Amino acid sequence: MDRRSVSEITFGLVLLKKISPDMVPASELAAPFNRALPFIKENRDFDKVELQAKFGLDNIRAAEWAAEEIKSEDAAGWVDMLHQAAVYDDVGRKLERIAKKLQNGENGSGDDLLFLASQLDRKQTDVRSMRDIEIPENIWVPSFYEPIDANIGGYPQAGLIIVGGPAGLGKTTLLLKLLAEAAKNQKHSLFFSLEMPAGMAKARMNAIIPGMRQKDLEFIHVTDRPMRAEEVYTMSMRVASEYPLYCIGVDYASKMLHGQPSVESMSEIYILMGDLSRVSGVPVILLAGLSRGYVGGEPMVNHLWYSGVAEHEASVIILVYNPGLLEVDLGVNTERTLPYYPGQGYLKVGKSRMGTAKGTLGAIRIPWDDKAGRWGNRCVEWHSKLVG
């Protein structure tokens, strides 16, 4: 299929909100869609009549009609087809110019031909020169929660953040806090409330953050329908095509299982959530429980369910440690790395692939309100000892 036809369909998928405009490079679209796409990116709530007036009624209608029959789950594949068509078109035009030189008796086109052949091969193998790779402007993006931003650096862009810990010690509370802080900064998020009904999650959020404004809550998109990992992946990609998602929260890993937990089933969950963060370009916060080997005290990375795969897929691992909420006999003379403070808990950084803002792994000590069951807004102290 030629570049013009693929451009028409891909642009139509953007118009129908089956894919996000951010997924499509305007430079790869044929005219007039290469000019219309930046307009849409700058005007997310664009007026279709104005769009038609600027770029042609027939062009806009034809694009919508061409994309109508394509399913949302197949839409992302058209971005790859567009890239391929753009490469072929560009190479073809350059070959035409080389052919004319050869017809005129000019020499010296051998290197150019080899370069163009490498361009075609690069598309087919999806291998590029490191020279052509662009470094992201920001490896980290803010979570808008001071303890995480000041000590870790925020969220790794397009990374999987696993938050682990014993049941009932503040993992869901932390996730709801992060979603609320993003919403207060007009950032869209998607929340898979697989652990509790959406109504209970909203009530919990209201208790955690009193005075949440209704206009802020509009930025949190939630579903409490039971789902498997592949369904979470598919729905996330669909929602990401409709809204500029800032983060995705999943509560929690074991609720996406097929039957009993196993190495294979848990590996699939971690791998799919890692793929979701990379493909969507959106940080994914996944809550996870601890294995039966955990008997109390400070959780470690190896206490996570099937920790080997979790550690491999995660960009950051945070372990919730709230000693005031868990009374366990650890035996006589048992060493405790982190001191106990009444009304305070810890977020232990057990892994960070890109380092931390503090330069090392460690633990963030934060106030914990026992009565309200919520984390405080500020870090009390950073414990820089290597933990986890």
Range in 77-81, 200-204, 365-369 the model is least confident about = 77-81
In this structure, what are the phi and psi dihedrals at residue 220, rounded to the nearest 5 degrees? -105, 115
Residues 189-240: tens digit of each pLDDT: 999 999 999 999 999 998 888 888 889 999 999 999 999 988 898 889 888 8
- β-strands 155-156, 140-141: how paired? antiparallel
Distances (CA, A) of 36 to 24, 72, 80, 126: 12, 21, 20, 28
pLDDT at 333: 45
Site of tokens 């110019």 = 97
pLDDT at 113: 61
Site of tokens 């692939």 = 353
Higher-scoring residue by pLDDT: 372, 184: 184
pLDDT at 248: 97
pLDDT at 278: 86
pLDDT at 320: 93
Residue 337 scores a pLDDT above 50 = yes
For CA atoms 220, 221, 223, 227, give the dihedral sign: negative
Name 237's Cβ contacts closer than 8 Å, sequence gap at least 6. 73, 76, 276, 279, 280
pLDDT at 146: 97
Residues 129-180: tens digit of each pLDDT: 677 677 777 789 999 999 999 999 999 988 999 999 888 888 999 999 999 9
Residue 326 scores a pLDDT above 70 = no
Residues 240-253: tens digit of each pLDDT: 878 889 999 999 89
Residues 269-292: tens digit of each pLDDT: 898 899 899 888 899 999 998 887
The predicted model scores a pTM of 0.68
pLDDT at 112: 59
Q: Which of 369, 349, 339, 330 is nearest to 165 (CA)?
A: 349
Instruction: Locate the DSSP E strands across 254-321.
Output: 284-288, 316-321
Number of Cβ atoms within 10 Å of the Cβ of 50: 11
pLDDT at 108: 53
Distances (CA, A) of 166 to 58, 64, 169, 275: 59, 50, 6, 26
pLDDT band at 26, cuts 50/70/90? confident
Distances (CA, A) of 284 to 124, 174, 186, 231, 277: 30, 14, 18, 15, 6
Percent residues over pLDDT 70 in the chain = 89
Read off the pLDDT of each residue in 255-266 and give the average, rounded to a whole number.
78
Half-sphere exposure of 216 (CA within 13 A, CB side): 17
Residue 386 scores a pLDDT above 70 = no
Higher-scoring residue by pLDDT: 331, 29: 29
Residues 34-56: tens digit of each pLDDT: 888 888 888 877 788 888 888 88
